[in-house]
């Protein structure tokens, strides 16, 4: 039986820089094995009890994947949906849809732009400092939906 786990985290890059954190906000709640958090973290927290503090290192291939060179493409500047100046490191969506992929500008060469369609954290080994806030069994609804309904099992989305 998978568990529903609520935890706080701070995510660090290999150089120690903080990439993301839940500190100061709401903790994250997920159903184990349901793909709600990255696989490598889910696997390594499988037996962690409430109250545990852990440092978990997740290799890139179990986080956001290896960096795929095939997803780096040279595109004419004029084809980009961006007005104004472009800078290296700029990120923008490739479409109007909320889930449209995000690309990163890696280089600007004349009227050509090198765009990277990899996730910004692809190829990066991640370290999570984790504190398990609570652990509970899933509700029948959560099991049938395949995701957690918030820390209390009641909140979340409309059905």
Q: Least distance in Å: CB of 136 to Zn ion?
A: 16
Name which of 16 and 140 has its Cβ closer to Zn ion. Answer: 140
Q: Least distance in Å: CB of 157 to Zn ion?
A: 6
Q: Report the distance separating Cα 159 and Cα 43, nearest Å.
A: 28
Name which of 59 and 146 has its Cβ closer to Zn ion. Answer: 146
Q: Least distance in Å: CB of 141 to Zn ion?
A: 6
Q: Least distance in Å: CB of 19 to Zn ion?
A: 28
- Interface residues with Zn ion (CB under 5 A)? 145
Name which of 6 and 118 has its Cβ closer to Zn ion. Answer: 6
Per-state percent for the chain, helix, strand, coil, to nearest 5:
15, 35, 50
Q: Distance of alpha carbon 77 from its chain centroid, rounded?
A: 29
Q: Report the distance separating Cα 50 and Cα 33, nearest Å.
A: 18
Specify the 3-state DSSP secondary structure of 23: coil
Q: Report the distance separating Cα 159 and Cα 78, nearest Å.
A: 43
Name which of 62 and 145 has its Cβ closer to Zn ion. Answer: 145
């Amino acid at each position: 039986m998978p568990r529903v786990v609520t935890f706080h985290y701070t995510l660090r890059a290999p150089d120690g820089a903080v990439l993301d954190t839940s500190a100061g906000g709401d903790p994250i709640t997920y159903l184990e094995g349901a793909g709600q958090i990255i696989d490598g973290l889910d696997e390594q927290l499988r037996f962690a009890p409430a109250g545990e503090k852990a440092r978990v290192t997740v290799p890139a291939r179990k986080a956001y994947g290896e960096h795929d060179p095939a997803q780096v493409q040279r595109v004419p500047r004029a084809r980009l949906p961006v007005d104004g100046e472009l800078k290296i490191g700029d990120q923008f969506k490739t479409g109007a849809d909320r889930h449209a992929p995000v690309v990163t500008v890696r280089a600007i060469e004349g009227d050509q732009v090198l765009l990277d369609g990899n996730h910004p954290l692809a190829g990066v080994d991640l370290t999570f400092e984790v504190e398990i806030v609570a652990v509970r069994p899933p509700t029948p609804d959560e099991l049938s939906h395949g995701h957690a309904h918030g820390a209390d099992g009641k909140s979340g989305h409309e059905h």
